Amino acid sequence: MANLIRCKACGYVTCEGKIKDVCPACGVPAKMFEPYADPVTEKRRRILRLHIHPIIVHFPQSFVFTLFVLAVLSFVAPPQINGSLHCTIQVVSSALPFFLILALLTGLVDGKTRFRKLTTPFLKKKFILGLSFLFTSILIAAVAFALRLSSVPVMALFTVLTIIAVGFSITLGLIGSELMEAKFPG
């Protein structure tokens, strides 16, 4: 493994010899770098470098936000495009639970790889919120398919469910961003 260095100002880590004059992340002079020993084993680092969980997580986040926007649009869209909107809502709604299951599974692998256990307070909270998000997404899909979306009360219920799901998504993202700052146990 190459010798690593870390920026004292921002924490950016890179291989020795890759820095020219300044830190590419924050711009401080190269003299602000210090030797760095990676606390994570190479095997764990290879898994983490794949970034599978962070990539997969963006699908349900974007899907649920898209569903919210489509639901709001359905209240103001001309009747000629409401059929297409409802069809799109059904397709995206049916995909959302599957991507959430993938996000939960990759989150378990990521949490176990990063922190060696899944029982930390943040990870427990993320798992409970993730399951709640999944349950809400199943309700969203059920409403999208079981009831007539052209009915205003049904679209109002659908919109409320998407707002709740967006709330879960935001909360999970905030907790995840806090976990990114956590130091890895060796």
CATH code assigned at 165: 1.20.120
- pLDDT for the residue numbered 181: 59
C-beta separation of 165 from 64 below 8 A: yes
Domain span holding position 55: 44-180
**The total number of structural domains that make up the chain:** 2
Q: Are residues 112 and 53 in the same domain?
A: yes
Q: Are residues 59 and 8 in the same domain?
A: no
Average pLDDT (103-120) is 87
pLDDT tens readout for residues 153-186: 999 999 999 999 999 999 999 998 887 756 554 4
Mean residue pLDDT across the chain: 89
